[in-house]
A = this chain, B = another copy of it.
Amino acid sequence: MTVRISNSYSWQEKARWAKDKRDASLAKVEPKLVGIPAADSLPLSSQDMPKAILTPRELEITERYTITELLSLLRQRDITVEEVTRAFLRRAALAQAATNCLTELLWDEAIERARYLDSLPEPRGSLFGLPISTKEHQGMVGSNITTSASLVAWVGKEHGSNLLFDTFWQQGCVFYARTSQPQAIMHLETHSNVFGRTVNPYNRELTPGGSTGGESALLGMRGSILGVGSDIGGSIRCPAAHTGVYGFKPTTKRIATTGSRAAGQGKETISGCAGPMSVDREGLEIFMKAALSAKPWRVEPSLTTKEWTPHSFTKPLKIAVQWWDGVVQPHPPMTRALREVAEACRKAGMEVVDWNCEDLDHKKGWDILSALYWPDGGKEILGLMAESGEPILPLTRFILHEQPTVKELSQHELWKLCVERDAYRARYAQAWSNTGKDEDDEVDIILCPPSFGAATPHDQSRYWGYTSQWNLLDYPAVVFPVTTVDPVQDVKDLSYTPKNDEDRFVYDMYSPETFKNAPVSLQIVGRRQQDEKVLAALAEVERAMGRK
A contact set with B: CB distance below 8 Å:
258, 264-269, 295, 297-302, 304-306, 375-376, 379-380, 408-412, 414-419, 422, 425-426, 428-430, 433, 439, 473-474, 527-530
Contacts and interface: CB of A to CB of B under 8 A. Distances in A.
Given A265-B419, A295-B439, A529-B305, A376 B425 contact: no
Nearest to A421: B266
B266 A417 contact: yes
Contacts of A425: 301-302
A426 B376 contact: no
Residue of A266, A304, A306, A376 most packed against chain B (CB within 10 A): A266
B415 A264 contact: yes
Contacts of A269: 268
Contact of A301 (B306, B414, B527): B527
A266 B297 contact: no
A302 B417 CA distance: 15
27 contacts: A258-B426, A265-B415, A265-B419, A266-B414, A266-B419, A266-B422, A267-B411, A267-B418, A268-B269, A295-B439, A297-B528, A298-B439, A298-B527, A299-B426, A299-B433, A300-B422, A300-B429, A301-B428, A301-B473, A301-B527, A302-B425, A302-B528, A304-B529, A305-B528, A306-B306, A379-B412, A380-B412
User: Which residue among A301, A412, A416, A428 has the maximum number of chain B CB atoms within 10 Å of its CB?
Assistant: A301
A358 to B, nearest CB: 21
Nearest to A432: B298
Contacts of A375: 411
A429 B299 contact: yes
Contact of A297 (B422, B473, B529): B529
Nearest to A251: B305
Contacts of A300: 422, 426, 429
Contacts of A414: 266, 411
Contacts of A422: 266, 300, 302
B418 A268 contact: yes
A216 B417 CA distance: 35
A430 B299 contact: yes
Contacts of A376: 410-412, 415
A428 B433 CA distance: 39
A398 to B, nearest CB: 22
A530 B295 CA distance: 14
Contacts of A380: 412
Contact of A305 (B299, B305, B433, B530): B530
A299 B530 CA distance: 15
Contacts of A430: 299
Contacts of A474: 301-302
Q: List the 9 closest pairs (A to B, CB-CB), nearest first.
A: A266-B415, A266-B418, A266-B419, A305-B529, A376-B411, A301-B429, A301-B528, A375-B411, A301-B425
A406 to B, nearest CB: 12
A429 B163 CA distance: 14
A301 B266 contact: no
Nearest to A411: B376
A265 B299 CA distance: 29
A529 B302 CA distance: 10
B419 A301 contact: no
